[in-house]
């Protein structure tokens, strides 16, 4: 059974407040994998409320939780009834979405041989039982800071420098990852392709500097619409953007697309060469993995592109998902 610390305030994973006293960009998510209630209580008291603490008591639960939620760090007991800690870590290293999650082993075995085995298996640290709360907190905070620094560097590599959206490389990587996850879990996966209407005419009339500013305005308007942690916006190329929406059925994705369309219109970016509108507008095509004829990620993207084509050639400034 998966549990959550009762001492934590209600919030969502998408919040961006600083963890109290810790200086993290957001509240870290920790998974404690431990089958002894006393040790669970000690770890929870040491790490809450600065961290959001989740707890499972079995190895299989831990692997599934990490696949589904990708915590920032795992505190993993070596000895458990169904899978031992080494088997859990091996399973995490085998999955693309979990292999980079830092794992700290927590064990009653204090020999040098055991510590060496833990580190060789891929753990970032080793904590001995009985648990010293101050030591646990210090080591966890050290590895969380390293993890967030790594995430930031990783993000810089995948950002479009001009607009601040994710870039095409990041989208392509995540599309494949989320497609495999959707296949494994039998959950919906949707994409939204976005194209700025009459953008060549905008650049020709207003110049490329204002054209770049218009694209940044689009990103600024669209990002707040995507509120769930797994949803994101990427620059697909030129004036085209794409949203990836895990666990989102077609109807919900179309609703989000319409909100993005409205949000861009509300920016009132002057576009004299956009007939009947007079401001910047966008056309959007939406597709879902469960639609007929979609058997891979490329076909999902191709279906969204077909719907975008229909939107562009049936009047623009609209969403098409059928």
Element of type H or E holding 63:
helix 59-69
Q: Does domain 3-157 have CATH number 3.40.50.2300?
A: yes
Q: What is the pLDDT of residue 22?
A: 58
Q: How many helices (H) and strands (E) does the chain have?
A: 10, 11
Catalytically annotated residue among 239, 266, 272, 303? 239
Structural domain spans, the chain: 3-157, 168-320
Q: Are 88 and 123 in contact (CB under 8 A)?
A: no
Hey, which CATH number is domain 168-320, 3.40.50.300, 3.10.180.10, 3.30.70.270, 3.40.50.880? 3.30.70.270
Residue 9 confidence (pLDDT) above 70: no
Do 3-157 and 168-320 come out as alike in CATH topology?
no
Q: Are 279 and 314 in contact (CB under 8 A)?
A: no
Cα(216)–Cα(208) distance, integer angstroms:
12
Q: What is the pLDDT of residue 8?
A: 28
Output the average pLDDT for the chain.
88
Please write the tens of the pLDDT for every residue from 176-205: 989 998 998 899 999 999 999 999 999 998
C-alpha distance from residue 207 to each of 81, 137, 160, 204 (Å) = 66, 54, 20, 6
Please write the tens of the pLDDT for every residue from 93-107: 998 889 999 999 998
**Contacts (Cβ under 8 Å, ≥6 apart) of 246:** 178, 181, 182, 187, 189, 230, 231
pTM exceeding 0.85 = no
Q: What does DSSP say about strands 103-107 and 125-128: parallel, antiparallel, or unpaired? A: parallel
Cα(198)–Cα(195) distance, integer angstroms:
9
Please write the tens of the pLDDT for every residue from 267-303: 999 999 999 899 999 999 999 999 999 999 999 999 9
Catalytic annotation present for 95: no
């Amino acid at each position: 059974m998966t549990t959550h610390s009762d001492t934590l305030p209600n919030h969502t994973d998408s919040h961006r407040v600083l963890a109290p006293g810790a200086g993290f960009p957001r509240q870290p998510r920790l998974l404690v994998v431990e089958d002894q209630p006393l040790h669970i209580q000690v770890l929870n008291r040491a790490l809450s409320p600065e961290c959001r603490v989740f707890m499972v008591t079995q190895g299989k639960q831990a692997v599934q939780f990490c696949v589904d939620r990708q915590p920032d760090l795992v505190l993993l007991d070596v000895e458990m009834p169904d899978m031992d800690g080494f088997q859990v870590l091996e399973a995490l290293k085998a999955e693309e979405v979990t292999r980079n999650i830092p794992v700290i082993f927590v064990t009653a075995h204090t020999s040098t041989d055991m510590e060496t085995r833990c580190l060789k298996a891929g753990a970032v640290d080793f904590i001995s039982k009985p648990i010293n709360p101050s030591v646990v907190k210090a080591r966890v905070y050290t590895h969380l800071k390293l993890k967030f620094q790594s995430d930031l560097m990783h993000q810089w590599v995948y950002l479009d420098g001009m607009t601040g959206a994710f870039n095409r490389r990041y989208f392509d990587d995540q599309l494949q990852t989320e497609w495999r996850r959707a296949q494994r879990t039998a959950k919906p996966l949707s994409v939204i392709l976005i194209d700025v209407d009459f953008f060549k005419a905008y650049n020709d009339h207003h110049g490329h500097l204002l054209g770049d500013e218009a694209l940044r305005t689009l990103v600024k308007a669209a990002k707040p619409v995507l509120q769930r942690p797994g949803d994101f916006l990427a620059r697909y190329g030129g004036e085209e953007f794409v949203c990836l929406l895990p666990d989102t059925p077609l109807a919900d994705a179309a609703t989000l697309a319409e909100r993005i369309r409205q949000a861009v219109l509300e920016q009132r970016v002057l576009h004299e060469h956009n007939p009947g509108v007079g401001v910047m507008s966008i056309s959007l095509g939406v597709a879902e993995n469960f639609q007929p004829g979609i058997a891979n990620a490329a076909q999902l993207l191709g279906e969204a592109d077909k719907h975008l084509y229909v939107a562009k050639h049936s009047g623009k400034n609209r969403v098409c998902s059928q």
